[in-house]
Chain A
Amino acid sequence: MKLQILKRGWVYVVLSVAAFISVFPFIWMLIGSTNTSAEILKGKTSLGEALTNNFTHLVEQVDLAMLFYNSAKIAVIATALTLVISSLAGYGFEIFKTKMSERVFALLLAMLSIPFAAIMIPLFISMAQLHLINTHAAVIIPTVASIFIIFYFRQATKSFPSELRDAARVDGLKEWQIFWHIYVPVMRSTYAAATIIIFMANWNNYLWPLIVLQTNETKTLTLQVASLLTAYTPDFGVVMVATTLATLPTLIIFFTLQKQFVQGLLGSVK
């Protein structure tokens, strides 16, 4: 019995240390926003008085409203388009299976492991030829047909009751009406989970926007945080405030919709 308690004790020690390490950087971020750059670099872990100063400096340097607008615009449009295009495809691949469509699907899965670095140069050249460099369309278009999300919707469609489809057909509904009026409402929790995953991925996206968005007017919040950080002498107080602002939306989504978020991650492997 004593051994049991001792073993339990170790479990709590391990978990507490791991939880502390996981959470500490967030506390560091919040505390850092209130300290000066020098204090942050000296490792000060108590609240300071520089918050308003940091915020004022940030607002002087960058157009915060525009950055938020750009990030939100890209994330919202990309999420909406990805949901429509990828769920249509996932539904199509599962419901209308043929030998040929299964082969195409296998090819898609094989392409899932192609690293982004292998396509970014041709993609950049194509975007330049289409005169889309420095437009948000260039960021959005290549991401909306996501193999990962197509796969996710296909897996979810396996649990869509075929009786519903049969009944709708008897009632004379066309295929697109079945999709729009029956499938979408029935699968709303699947859509909710996918929305979170896609939105976060777009909000946090860095490499591709970095390549195609080179003007200040088109920059996203994430890009701005990176360029503040990689400046010759970064002001960490300012960077911390910017980082907090960039992380806040995803934190809020996480805490309000944690269950769907986890479900969304797991949906693709179940």
Chain B
Amino acid sequence: MGTHNHTMAQAPISRRETLTGWLFTSPALILLGLFLLYPIIYSLTMSFQVGKGMNLSFGGFANVYRLTQDPVFLHALTNTFTLLVIQVPIMISLALLLAVTLNDTKLWGRSYFRTALFLPCVTSLVAYSVLFKSMFAIDGVVNSFLQTLHVISSPIPWLADPFWAKIVIILAITWRWTGYNMIFFLAALQNIDPSIYEAARIDGIPAWARFAKITLPALKPVVLFTTVTSTIGTLQLFDEVNNITVGGPADATLTLSLYIYNLSFKFMPSFGYAATVSYVIVVLVVILSFLQFLVARDRRST
């Protein structure tokens, strides 16, 4: 059915139909032009402007120079990167592991486990920030649980210590998004023909090799998709750090998005410089997505 539709739709269409097509897409295109494309360009020009509030004048590369001299920016950049490099691989591996485990049709209570693991996605980022902030209080439930298990002897100052605050943020994001990513892996796993596994089993190929030679290659596009979207998401991290730690302690969880927000709406507005910082995120997104595509393509060809 799909191929039939495809050939029909790909036949050259008349000028009248071309016009009709644009009429269908124009409301969205006009809105996207005004509220996406225009702001993208506006913010690029703004990144070359200096000044306070709306009194902006052309400053050339002054903002780019300021970036290199700004310890707070460098801090936010390092923090964002640290969170990204640690959190995304952990979450993707965890999502993959859980999906493979759940893909066993003979597993008892499979749909209950799936529902439970997927549940965190329904919470708003603000709502789960409330929960994490209260659970990780110094005398809170996490510390008392760990103490009961004798994992730790004295309470960990989760939100008061720069190192542990980062850990809380990583745990929080992983809690919220692992189930979400798992759903994509599960769907891809269900598309693999079970007879391939059956044949491999008959040939005496061990489980780990079946995983490496059949499962992983089939999941490569999904790994790419989830890694790219998670990378973009973590680069934009804002809600959690603004609500759980407010970027603290001592800027330990200050992210680029939070710094842009602070520069624009908290302190005396410095829109030009904030726009420059925002373009750092754009450049990072482009470079990282490109790298991830390259890695994926490389592995595919070998």
Residues in chain A within 8 A of chain B (CB atoms)? 11, 14-15, 18-19, 21-23, 25-26, 28-29, 32, 40-45, 85-86, 88-89, 91-98, 101, 104, 108, 111, 113-126, 141-142, 144-145, 147, 150, 158-162, 175, 179, 200, 203-204, 206-207, 211, 222, 225-226, 229-230, 236, 239-240, 243, 246-247, 250-251, 253-254, 258, 262, 265-266, 269-270
27 A–B contacts from the bound complex (CB under 8 Å): A21-B175, A22-B117, A22-B175, A28-B135, A40-B134, A43-B135, A43-B142, A85-B27, A86-B28, A95-B24, A96-B24, A98-B18, A101-B22, A101-B25, A113-B285, A115-B257, A115-B278, A123-B35, A142-B36, A158-B6, A160-B5, A230-B246, A247-B122, A247-B124, A251-B122, A262-B118, A265-B180
| B interface size (C-beta, 8 A) | 103
User: Is B291 interfacial (CB-CB < 8 Å)?
Assistant: no
Q: What chain A residues lie within 8 Å of B42 (beta carbons)? A: 122, 125
Q: What chain A residues lie within 8 Å of B125 (beta carbons)? A: 204, 206
Are B133 and A145 interface neighbours, CB within 8 A? no
User: Is B73 interfacial (CB-CB < 8 Å)?
Assistant: no
Selected contact of A121 from candidates B23, B107, B235, B264, CB within 8 Å: B264
Cα-based distance from A265 to B107 in the complex (angstroms): 24
Are B39 and A119 interface neighbours, CB within 8 A? yes
Are A247 and B9 interface neighbours, CB within 8 A? no
Q: What chain A residues lie within 8 Å of B115 (beta carbons)? A: 258
Q: What chain A residues lie within 8 Å of B295 (beta carbons)? A: none
Q: What chain A residues lie within 8 Å of B144 (beta carbons)? A: 42-43
Residues in chain B within 8 A of chain A (CB atoms)? 1-2, 4-6, 8-10, 13, 17-18, 20-25, 27-29, 31-32, 34-40, 42-43, 46, 54, 97-98, 101-102, 104, 107, 112-113, 115-120, 122-135, 137-145, 175, 179-180, 183-184, 187, 222, 225, 228, 232, 235-236, 238-239, 242-243, 246, 256-257, 260-261, 264-265, 271, 274-275, 278-279, 281-282, 285-286, 289
Closest A residue, CB atoms, query B283: A118
Are B5 and A145 interface neighbours, CB within 8 A? no
Q: Give, as a whole number of angstroms, the nearest-CB distance from B31 to chain A.
A: 4
Closest B residue, CB atoms, query A26: B119
Selected contact of B236 from candidates A101, A116, A124, A159, CB within 8 Å: A116
Are B132 and A25 interface neighbours, CB within 8 A? yes
Q: Give, as a whole number of angstroms, the nearest-CB distance from B113 to chain A.
A: 5
Are A121 and B236 interface neighbours, CB within 8 A? no
Cα-based distance from A124 to B141 in the complex (angstroms): 40
Q: What chain B residues lie within 8 Å of A32 (beta carbons)? A: 131, 134
Are A122 and B117 interface neighbours, CB within 8 A? no
Are B28 and A96 interface neighbours, CB within 8 A? no
Are A41 and B139 interface neighbours, CB within 8 A? yes
Are B285 and A243 interface neighbours, CB within 8 A? no
Instruction: Decide yes or no: A118 and B40 within 8 Å by CB, A113-B286, A204-B124 being known contacts.
Output: yes
Q: What chain A residues lie within 8 Å of B24 (beta carbons)? A: 88-89, 91-92, 95-96, 175, 179
Minimum-distance CB pairs A-B, first 9: A96-B21, A92-B24, A204-B124, A43-B141, A145-B31, A89-B28, A119-B39, A122-B39, A122-B42
Selected contact of A14 from candidates B21, B101, B134, B139, CB within 8 Å: B101
Selected contact of A239 from candidates B37, B130, B183, CB within 8 Å: B130
Cα-based distance from A150 to B26 in the complex (angstroms): 12
Closest A residue, CB atoms, query B117: A22
Q: Give, as a whole number of angstroms, the nearest-CB distance from B168 to chain A.
A: 13
Are A204 and B117 interface neighbours, CB within 8 A? no
Are B29 and A42 interface neighbours, CB within 8 A? no
Q: What chain B residues lie within 8 Å of A121 (beta carbons)? A: 39, 43, 46, 260, 264, 271, 274-275, 278
Are A42 and B139 interface neighbours, CB within 8 A? yes
Q: Give, as a whole number of angstroms, the nearest-CB distance from B84 to chain A.
A: 13
Q: What chain A residues lie within 8 Å of B31 (beta carbons)? A: 85, 141-142, 144-145
